[in-house]
Amino acid sequence: MIDEKELARELTAILSELIAIPSTYPPGDTTEICAYIAARYRAAGYQCQTVSRTEGIASVVARSGSGAPQLALNCHIDTVDVGAVSDWRSDPFQATLENGMIYGLGANNCKASTALHIWLGEEIMRSGGLKQGEIVFTFTGDEERLGSEGMAYLREMGALKPDIMLVGGPTENDLITEERGVLWVRITATGRAAHGGDPDAGDNAILRMIRLVEHLRAELEPRLAKRQSGAKQSTMNIGRIQGGHNVNVVPSSCVLEIDRRLLPDEDVQAAYREFGEILATSGEPAESFATEFLTGNNGFSPPLDGPGITALSAAIEARRGRAPEILNALAVSEGRFFADDNIEIVNFGPGDGATSHAANEHVALDQMVDGALILRDTVARLLGF
């Protein structure tokens, strides 16, 4: 039997040590926190490596067992920056326990789940190790800047090839089993510079961009309004625009960036082509604008009766006395890098996503205890130990 009071003390201690190690983006340096995590997993008996191809950005991969199924548990270990320190009631780099809540930078997103995964890894070895299959714990270093040097790199190098992937994150110990895809697109409009006192002598790139965007919205937004799946909506957000270099010069260039969220059954490459097809009918000269694919991944929607989600759901119900809720995700997780691999992906962990990226970020200690015991039960059901 697990002593829950002792478990709460142990989780608090681990989380406190994680919060005390800065891993903010910017600058995004995760070498120190990786050293802490790797040392614990090596001491517990895991095969462990720290992976990095860009200075300062590191990730940890710790594994035990062999064969199928491979169960991967992932957390990102970078955080957003502190912001205005004056907005914090306590030191953001010192865990503060108050009224059952642990406060600190990253407490909710995603160091609480990191603490759970560290405890779980050590608990598996304390209990004699796995009876079947392989478990791989990954702690990735650049989720807050899209993950290209973290989880995307781990997948690229073949560090894990999971059958089931549990992504740690604030779901209040319920489940996110579906995610929309994401596509970032850049549109560049060009023109001809001239003196601001004679605008007709130039070709204003900002005005061209306005015409392009008006056409894009008129054509694409009615289509997106019809693309729905339950509570999920296909969306487009114009998030950034930059043009010109001085107010008295007709601008020769304008750049605009768009965040497009796709339903799980939409294809990211088809969505990118759709931008080009619509803009081609805008009436603007073809050589006066260009589109660029910045980043993108398909969404995922695994079956709810797969072995991973079934085991996790049963563990939640056993602990909490009710079936888990299936939540609608607005953001995307690092599971997206495996969206095309035909595997089970599910997000689970303590904390409320609404407090992420905000001053006085916090997580409920009782949720951490519940989450740790749910994860322990889940691994026992899937791999035995």
Question: In the predicted model, what is the mean pLDDT of residues 338-366?
Answer: 94
Of 297, 329, 352, the residue at which a domain comes to its end is 297
Which tens digits make up the pLDDT trace of 62-118? 999 999 999 999 999 999 999 999 999 999 999 999 999 999 999 999 999 999 999
Crossing angle for the helix pair 4-19 and 31-44, to the nearest 10 degrees = 150
Predicted local confidence at residue 213, as pLDDT:
98
236 and 351 belong to one structural domain: no
132 and 235 belong to one structural domain: no
One-character DSSP codes across 253-311: EEEEEEEEEE-TTS-HHHHHHHHHHHHTTSSS-GGGEEEEEEEEE--B---TTSHHHHH
Which tens digits make up the pLDDT trace of 140-178? 999 998 889 999 999 999 999 999 999 999 999 999 999
Residue 348 structural domain: 4-179+300-382
Question: In the predicted model, what is the mean pLDDT of residues 56-65?
Answer: 97
174 and 40 belong to one structural domain: yes
Does residue 122 register a pLDDT over 90?
Answer: yes
58 and 78 belong to one structural domain: yes
Provide the domain count of the chain.
2
Of 297, 328, 352, the residue at which a domain comes to its end is 297
292 and 205 belong to one structural domain: yes
Which tens digits make up the pLDDT trace of 104-114? 999 999 999 99
- Whole-structure pTM over 0.85, yes or no? yes
Predicted local confidence at residue 332, as pLDDT:
86
Which tens digits make up the pLDDT trace of 202-224? 999 999 999 999 999 999 999 99
Average pLDDT, the chain: 96
Which tens digits make up the pLDDT trace of 295-335? 999 999 999 999 999 999 999 999 999 999 999 988 889 99
CATH number of the domain residue 214 falls in = 3.30.70.360
Of 297, 318, 337, the residue at which a domain comes to its end is 297
244 and 163 belong to one structural domain: no
CATH number of the domain residue 110 falls in = 3.40.630.10
321 and 374 belong to one structural domain: yes
| Cβ pair 256, 238 in contact under 8 A | yes
13 and 141 belong to one structural domain: yes
314 and 248 belong to one structural domain: no
